[in-house]
Amino acid sequence: MGGPLLACDEAGEPDGDALLHPAQRLRSAVRVSGRMRTASVECVAEEVPVAMVYNGISHAVMLATPADLEDFGTGFSLAEGIVARASEIHDIDTAHHVDGIEVRMRVSNRAFDALKARRRSLAGRTGCGLCGVDSLGQVSREVKPVAARPSVDEAAIHRAFVALGEGQALHALTGSVHAAAWAHADGTLFAVREDVGRHNALDKLIGAVALAGLDTAQGFAVVTSRASYEMVLKLASVGGGLLAAISAPTGLAIDLAGRTGVTLCGFVRDGRMAIYTGSRTSTATQTE
């Protein structure tokens, strides 16, 4: 779950002599309430460049919260299809620099050869990344339909969201990070991961689940964000069968969930939800 977070008092001052967790820092601010202005020290979430480095070659750099970086590297590698399984990552460590952090991974020859081939296919493209139909066709990555058939009822999904709200330690201090959690079929949580980026939080969660050796067919993911195409793609890539989001999905996310067999739920809050694809919640939806 990462190191302990620092507890701050009502003025934002650190409690006792505790050291700041690297995921957060203290910054000066002025709180305004009506005509009242009060100097304060606020706990804010940290955001740093994190480079994913494979066999000595940097592949991608994300702005992320510097916590749970082994989970992050593992989950990113799996969700992006760089490795087929966590065991293809033979070694992983981090290197801290003045301008950011490197997550250094040594991967199998098969994975590294495939990554080099992918990098060659990306060379020379225009800067916008997805410019025109040809580029979109090359960049889009489809995944096979998922085999997972988690037996989950709607009460379990709501139970997971209640627990997620109680388990967001960094968000409670800073108010500025997303969370992703893995829930067992009964709605109890296995792990919560937080990050300034919703995709990063899901990558960290995927890594935690993989490193623990959990069967993705026996649980589901819940997220404190909208459900974008990329979020569905990441979960489907590792065989996850159900994604529940506190906010809305996008149309492209619904299309992908339908093609891959992922049950996609949105607007999960206050005892309600919308089920857009799949029928893997065991309680039938009633039409009023």
Q: Which residues are catalytic?
A: 128
Sign of CA dihedral 36, 39, 43, 48: positive
Measured over all CA atoms, what is the biggest interatomic distance in the chain, rounded to whole angstroms?
A: 64
Helices (H), the chain: 69-79, 109-122, 133-139, 154-166, 169-174, 198-212, 229-237, 251-260
Comparing CA positions, the residue from 80, 87, 89, 57 lying closest to residue 199 is 80
CB of 66 closer than 8 Å to CB of 46: yes
Q: What does the alpha-carbon distance between residue 226 and residue 89 come to, in Å, rounded to a whole number?
A: 30
Q: What does the alpha-carbon distance between residue 269 and residue 282 come to, in Å, rounded to a whole number?
A: 18
Q: What does the alpha-carbon distance between residue 194 and residue 167 come to, in Å, rounded to a whole number?
A: 10
Question: 49 has which bridge partners?
Answer: 63
